[in-house]
């Protein structure tokens, strides 16, 4: 699979070009307004100046209109504003016509800057792509590109290297950092016969493996493909303005023409001038500038409010979707839990818990394993490495060392079994680390990830205020996943999932939901990127999230505070409330003014003033969203 690493820079250049063209048009417009008020210009000069500004400012809108026409699609959204502004030009209201397209395109540019950032950096997922592979041929090791590997090639993977393709271990024992794929922080043991996956990191031993999938079919390539496909699916969703325009545009056009032609052909026979003029007034009143512009401005206000709360939303359409969310899918490690391991329980035999911690911390003092780090944090005392010697660390088992003249073993049940030490069978949702002095077990530790303090409150809010269905998808073990799900009273929990399986499970929930239901997915790792992109709204935990998760997500919690999901939903609902208020207010006023225009109570100026009044009232209400919860 080839990823276009220049995609992001190309998209950025396009947006910059649109912004420059737009800015030039605004300058022409401002100069035209100044000249119109300070100098006496002929109508043709005014027309030429403002038409130039109109065409330059509306460049992007005209481009989208032509693209839809070329695709034989009805351009309801773009044609709505273009016809309205052309109508303003037709009655000599050049300043008003350009101002409407100016506001409309400004909202589109701001929204495009936010939403297109999600697509610019898919190539950054290459941080999990291996830089090279070491192929072994006739006893000689040759460095090649990962995509040059064929099925059944033998590869050598050294400590610190990324696994280039999916393979099966032939020789050697090591520990594998699988966090990129499963989200699980504890390294996994890999022995002959075990399957290893591309994108993971070999931590400790040198291994030889047989290629079972080419690079194009490997896990890394599939993840990147899924992210791209999921974003393409989402890109087809319609915004509120587009859906509204499909109904509003044809209705207003039909009524305008009806006002122009029906009366002079029936009860006001031959009175064409009067009814054409009233039809033009009707079109001016029907101009949806206030309604159309207040909607994106309301969403921008919601986005600004969310940003002040430490929530980055990549587009107003995600606020609209978030307000309807009722299915919430969570990753476990780093999302519902802190992603860091700590000692949860200490059980000592024949000594104090403090002495047991001291003993284990000294034996583990040369190890970089996450379990060793958790023991250091729990002990907090001074470690004298001079008392520790003959250290033997065995990947997947533990550490043995001499300490104060005795042989001490710290590790899992496998190490105890190898050393022929009888231990208690402890059942906990975490890693059990036994400590033995010579052949006697002197205690054990239970080390596990911690549930975030704000997870309880957040999930309770989603359950009660959003009638939410709470789901957990994790690559962790069933025991660990079940313990967290039960503690948080979640509805469904699926464990031992690879990224592909997470997407498959997510698709099942998407399949059973109807149009009024929306699914939100929350995650932090590279392994979560595909589901974040495929969900109706993907939320990334910003402080811990990988670049892939951040770019695939639609909403980013900058500081990784889970409770900010509540704020995001509140802001989304407030934004939709303002949008609905604007729609209701604008329609009521427009209906009243339209009726008065048809019967001749309103002239052109009154119609324009009414339209401007509706626009400013709607925009003022929309701006209030930005102050919500500030």
Q: Where are the beta strands (DSSP E) in 8-138?
A: 133-137
- Reported as a pLDDT band with limits 50, 70 and 90, residue 533 is confident
- Reported as a pLDDT band with limits 50, 70 and 90, residue 329 is very high
- Is the predicted pLDDT of residue 443 greater than 90, yes or no? yes
**Which one of 393-397, 538-542, 625-629 scores highest in mean pLDDT?**
538-542
- Tell me the C-alpha distance between 201 and 185, whole Å: 12
The rounded percent of the chain whose pLDDT value lies above 90 is 25
- Tell me the C-alpha distance between 307 and 314, whole Å: 10
Query: What is the structure's pLDDT at 151?
Result: 92
- 326 with 467: CB under 8 angstroms? yes
- 360 with 565: CB under 8 angstroms? no
The residues annotated with a catalytic role in the active site are 331
- Is the predicted pLDDT of residue 71 greater than 50, yes or no? yes
Task: Decide yes or no: CATH 3.40.1110.10 for domain 339-450.
Answer: yes
* 183 phi, psi to nearest 5 deg: 80, -5
pLDDT tens digits, 1-10: 333 434 444 4
Contacts of 64 (CB under 8 A, 6+ apart): 75, 78
Contacts of 356 (CB under 8 A, 6+ apart): 346, 348, 435, 442, 443, 445
- Tell me the C-alpha distance between 207 and 155, whole Å: 8
Query: What is the structure's pLDDT at 549?
Result: 67
Query: What is the structure's pLDDT at 420?
Result: 92
pLDDT tens digits, 507-528: 999 888 877 789 999 987 666 8
In 235-334, which residue ranges form alpha helices assigned H by DSSP?
Answer: 240-265, 272-286, 289-308, 316-322
Query: What is the structure's pLDDT at 114?
Result: 47
CATH of 128-223, one of 3.40.50.1240, 2.40.110.10, 2.70.150.10, 3.40.50.280: 2.70.150.10
Residue carrying the six token digits 């009243």: 592
Query: What is the structure's pLDDT at 339?
Result: 72
- Per the prediction, the chain carries an average pLDDT of 79
CATH of segment(s) 310-329+452-570: 3.40.50.1000
pLDDT tens digits, 213-263: 898 888 767 665 555 554 444 433 345 555 666 777 778 778 888 988 898
Contacts of 290 (CB under 8 A, 6+ apart): 586, 611, 612, 614, 615, 616, 617, 618, 619
Contacts of 267 (CB under 8 A, 6+ apart): none
Q: What DSSP designation does 291 have?
A: H
Domain positions in the chain:
1-120, 128-223, 244-309+572-630, 310-329+452-570, 339-450
What totals of helices (H) and strands (E) does the chain contain, helices first? 21, 22
**Which one of 183-192, 605-614, 616-625 scores highest in mean pLDDT?**
183-192
Query: What is the structure's pLDDT at 581?
Result: 81
Distances (CA, A) of 498 to 157, 184, 329, 433: 22, 11, 15, 26
pTM to 2 decimal places: 0.60
| Residue 275 or residue 521, greater confidence | 521
- Tell me the C-alpha distance between 264 and 310, whole Å: 60
| Of the listed ranges 146-155, 303-312, 470-479, the one predicted with least confidence | 303-312
- Cβ neighbours around 233 below 10 Å, total: 12
- Reported as a pLDDT band with limits 50, 70 and 90, residue 78 is low
- Tell me the C-alpha distance between 316 and 336, whole Å: 26
- 32 with 50: CB under 8 angstroms? yes
**Which one of 299-303, 346-350, 431-435 scores highest in mean pLDDT?**
346-350
Same fold, 128-223 and 310-329+452-570: no
| Of the listed ranges 23-27, 409-413, 580-584, the one predicted with least confidence | 580-584
Query: What is the structure's pLDDT at 238?
Result: 44
Query: What is the structure's pLDDT at 307?
Result: 73
- Is the predicted pLDDT of residue 492 greater than 90, yes or no? yes
- Tell me the C-alpha distance between 426 and 441, whole Å: 13
- Tell me the C-alpha distance between 130 and 145, whole Å: 9
């Amino acid at each position: 699979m080839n990823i276009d690493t220049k995609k992001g820079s190309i998209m950025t250049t396009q947006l910059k070009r649109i912004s420059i063209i737009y800015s030039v048009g605004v300058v022409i417009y401002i100069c035209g307004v100044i000249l119109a008020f300070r100098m006496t210009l002929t109508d043709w000069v005014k027309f030429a100046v403002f038409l130039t500004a109109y065409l330059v400012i509306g460049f992007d809108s005209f481009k989208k209109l032509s693209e839809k026409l070329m695709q034989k699609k009805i351009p309801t959204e773009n044609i709505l504003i273009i016809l309205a502004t052309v109508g303003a030009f037709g009655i000599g209201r050049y300043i008003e016509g350009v101002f409407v397209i100016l506001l409309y395109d400004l909202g589109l540019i701001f929204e495009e800057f936010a939403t297109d950032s999600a697509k610019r950096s898919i190539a950054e997922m290459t941080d999990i792509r291996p830089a090279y592979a070491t192929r072994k041929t006739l006893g000689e090791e040759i460095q090649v590109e990962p995509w040059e590997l064929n099925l059944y090639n033998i590869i050598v993977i050294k400590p610190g290297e990324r696994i280039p393709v999916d393979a099966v271990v032939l020789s050697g024992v090591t520990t594998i950092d699988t966090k990129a794929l499963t989200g699980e922080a504890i390294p996994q043991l890999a022995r002959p016969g075990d399957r290893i996956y591309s994108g993971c990191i070999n931590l400790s031993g040198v291994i030889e493996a047989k290629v079972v999938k080419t690079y194009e079919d490997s896990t890394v390539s599939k993840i990147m493909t899924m992210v791209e496909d999921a974003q393409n699916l989402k890109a087809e969703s319609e915004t509120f303005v587009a859906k509204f325009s499909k109904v509003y545009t044809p209705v207003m056009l039909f009524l305008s023409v009806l006002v122009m032609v029906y009366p002079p052909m029936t009860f006001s026979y031959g009175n064409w001038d009067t009814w054409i003029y009233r039809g033009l007034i009707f079109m001016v009143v029907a101009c949806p500038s206030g309604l159309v512009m207040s909607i994106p401005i309301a969403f921008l206000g919601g986005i600004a409010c969310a940003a002040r709360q430490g929530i980055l939303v990549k587009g107003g359409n995600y606020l609209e979707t978030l307000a309807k969310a009722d299915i919430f899918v969570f990753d476990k490690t780093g999302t519902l839990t802190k992603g860091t391991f700590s000692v949860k329980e200490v059980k000592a035999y024949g000594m104090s818990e403090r002495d047991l911690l001291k003993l284990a911390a000294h034996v583990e003092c040369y190890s970089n394993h996450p379990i060793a780090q958790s023991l250091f944090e729990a002990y907090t005392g001074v470690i004298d490495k001079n008392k520790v010697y003959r250290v033997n660390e065995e990947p997947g088992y533990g550490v043995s060392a001499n300490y104060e003249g005795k042989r001490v073993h710290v590790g899992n049940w496998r190490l105890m079994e190898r050393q022929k030490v009888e231990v208690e069978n402890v059942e906990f949702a975490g890693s059990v680390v036994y400590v033995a002095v010579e052949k006697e077990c002197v205690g054990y530790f239970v080390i596990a990830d911690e549930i975030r303090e704000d997870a309880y409150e957040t999930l309770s809010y989603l359950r009660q205020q959003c009638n939410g269905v709470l789901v957990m998808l994790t690559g962790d073990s069933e025991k660990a996943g079940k313990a967290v799900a039960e503690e948080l009273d979640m509805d469904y929990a699926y464990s031992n999932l690879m990224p592909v399986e997470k997407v498959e499970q997510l698709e099942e929930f998407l399949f059973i939901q109807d149009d009024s239901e929306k699914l939100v997915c929350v995650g932090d790792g590279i392994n979560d990127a595909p589901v974040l992109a495929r969900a109706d709204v993907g939320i990334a935990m910003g402080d811990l999230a990988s670049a892939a998760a951040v770019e695939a997500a639609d909403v980013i919690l900058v500081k990784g505070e889970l409770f900010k999901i509540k704020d995001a939903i509140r802001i989304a609902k407030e934004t939709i409330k303002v949008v609905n208020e604007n729609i209701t207010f604008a329609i009521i006023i427009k209906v009243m003014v339209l009726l008065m225009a048809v019967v001749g109570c309103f002239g052109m100026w009154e119609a324009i003033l009414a339209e401007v009044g509706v626009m400013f009232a709607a925009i003022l209400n929309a701006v209030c969203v930005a102050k919500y919860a500030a």
